[in-house]
Structure 1
Amino acid sequence: MVDVQTEIVINRPRAEVAEYAANPDNAPSWYVNIHKSQRLTAGPISTGSRVAFTAKFLGRELNYTYEFVEYVPGEKLVMRTAQGPFPMQTTYTWTDHAGGTRMTLGNTGKPSGFSKLAGLVMEPMIRRETRKDLERLKSILERQSA
């Protein structure tokens, strides 16, 4: 089992951070490994929305679809995929923090087709990558306000 929680404080209002981060069209700009996102569901993002992503992980290109299973604008977003060798749930939460926003990015999943050892190796890699993702998001949003 992999369970990685990473957080960062972004010096921007919570509504702004949440709106940008929850918009899948922005994912390739702040996720280090995501190269493409495509909405599969028309209309605004809501519970039940589906988005296809193309990412590079461990030197391989992966295509997967996330379904939004919970969405409370400005507070929480939970996405889940059951595809591929590593079914994953990704959770974003946003809270007010000292005039800015604390964003937590959580990834949980259970590798299938991998040994338990692969999960142990993947957890620090996922932690390192999500730290880079959040730092990039912070940079983008704080630079926009400058």
Structure 2
Amino acid sequence: MKVDVRTETVIAVPCERVAAYAADPAHAPEWYVNISSVEWQTPPPMGVGSRMAFVARFLGRRLAYTYEISAYEPGRRLVMRTSQGPFPMETTYEWEPYGQTGDHTRMTLRNRGEPIGFAALGARLTAAAMRRAQSRDLARLKALLERQDRTDDSW
């Protein structure tokens, strides 16, 4: 069974700021509840072919995986893929200006993949857990960026 989970939120911060922050792998542990660390495997800056090693906890298990950037349009779209482990995954971020003045951002987070082996048996449970985690992650990102935007205009 394929898993395809898409969530979105509106953040009261301009698109270029949201995209720059969210696309920077160094910030991932700050807004992803389950990600504990990220380490560049290729030299920055971000571009197609860049690789980063992530360590996360999901459904009580430690996961270590490497994402490779497969598409990157700064300020608009980022697509990363991993082919390792029991759950090959593609993660897509999309950002677009939102609102009459364009000073808000609609951010979409999509994770999709097809679990293999034993992981395929729990695909429905995995999809539900991913949906909850993604909603929490986007809420955390929204709160973090809106708070930063109100208190510090230099980030």
TM-score by length of 2: 0.92
Percent identity over paired residues = 53
Indicate the larger mover: 127-136 or 117-126.
117-126
RMSD of the alignment, in Å? 0.9
Pair 1:77-2:81 in alignment: no
Structure 2: runs of 5+ lacking an equivalent? 151-155
1:10 alignment counterpart: 11
Counterpart of 2:132 in 1: which secondary structure? helix
2:122 alignment counterpart: 118
Pair 1:134-2:135 in alignment: no
User: Aligned residue pairs: how many?
Assistant: 146
Indicate the larger mover: 118-127 or 107-116.
107-116
Give the Cα separation in 1 of the matches to 2:91 and 2:144.
21
TM-score by length of 1: 0.97
Aligned-pair CA distance for 1:117: 4.0
> Any idea what the Cα deviations from partners look like across 1:32-52, whole Å, max 9, x if unmatched?
000000011113101100000
1:28 alignment counterpart: 29
1:58 alignment counterpart: 59
Give the Cα separation in 2 of the matches to 1:119 and 1:67.
23
Cα separation, partners in 2 of 1:83 and 1:139, compared to 1, 3 Å? same
Cα separation, partners in 2 of 1:140 and 1:116, compared to 1, 3 Å? same
